[in-house]
Chains A and B, each alone.
Chain A
């Protein structure tokens, strides 16, 4: 069994078997992370550079921890403190790093398609850690892993994705992945933040009513309002957004059944999620973070094996 791809550029290019292989391998790595020595020697001959052209806390630390737990050598690059600030191009930067004998590149960039571009020009395996408003594949994989852990399966699971669908790479990757694995998806949020033809393009249901989608779903994956990607006002104020689309405890208590709350972080508390929901018993937000390390270990392990 092998992945059908040399890079992880997005969920779109994965087969369902690839996703299954990554999730089952992640389950074994999760066990490794419970051991007294939380480390295996699998990638001790592999060097990985984390190339971050955009800020990140969780994803960068999660990748770095995953790499170290696999015994890989790790290089960190942040655009803000590097020669990229002097005007060096992406390809020049990467070629310079690769000439130092680096095997894999984990990359985040604010331009959609940056890792795809890079994959056509360099021999190293590339893992997309988020590209603009396109995809964030490892987030979708860890979300799927967390859902599968909670519910035992993805097939037939009713998943609501709520919030800024338009600017969210997490939403797109989650939709691709959950569709491939047979889940039902409804996206919800303000009309200005949901792409117009999303039903035709991606086969998801759309609603503008959050209460309605909460009544329907098993899991609600609540997204962050990405003010940094909105260059024009798409809703009147954060307070109004919270009143119309934010999720609070009273809404959950009114539901006929218990649902699970997820969020990829960072949370805007009091905007898309109230604190008593984010920290409440329905939330598996911190489990998602924990599962992120195991899932990324699985991705790196499976891609490193493609070398020969």
Chain B
């Protein structure tokens, strides 16, 4: 096991990601944030909370997207669907997708398909806590990155969140 982010680093990184999103979308005027179920939602909850403290809470439009029914590995493994909550229109909006770890890019591919079924956004950006570069199987790149790491395909990146794991940390596991 190799630590990638400690609790302190993680807190700083999440704050930076929130600031970078705000820097590119002043006041979040025409921007919505969408966390990917299940694991991206912990990160998006934190980012949304930080943004709500800076702006007024009603300025932050926040949804959650589950991509289970759009997966391309549906025959290999059955995933349990989580709740999708997008109670607003994304038509002509800037959408920032938020996920914890970017690996092969297949989840984001599915998320883009799912997202387009809700309307036609003006622009879609991607925000991730960890980017496992050189592991991509599709031409997908993030716009906001917490930490870029080099890994073997056989390794596993584990993100722990206070809310469910009782500590904040990111670790690289060998398998």
Contact = CB atoms under 8 A, between A and B. Distances in A.
Interface string B59-92: 0000000101111001110101111110000000
A25 interface: yes
Contact of A1 (B66, B78, B113, B118): B78
B interface majority secondary structure: loop
Contacts of A32: 69, 84
Given A302-B78, A308-B76, A37 B69 contact: no
Interface stretch (A38-46, A132-140, A192-200, A210-218): A38-46
Interface residues of A, number: 25
Contacts of A21: 80
Given A1-B80, A25-B81, A41-B113, A305 B74 contact: yes
Interface residues of B, number: 21
A155 interface: no
Contact of B69 (A2, A36, A301): A301
B83 A37 contact: no
Interface in B37-52: none
A228 interface: no
22 contacts: A21-B80, A24-B81, A28-B66, A28-B81, A28-B82, A28-B83, A28-B84, A32-B69, A32-B84, A35-B117, A35-B118, A36-B117, A36-B118, A37-B117, A37-B118, A40-B70, A41-B69, A41-B113, A42-B71, A70-B69, A305-B74, A305-B78
Interface of A: 1-2, 21, 24-25, 27-29, 31-32, 35-37, 39-42, 45, 70, 301-302, 304-305, 307-308
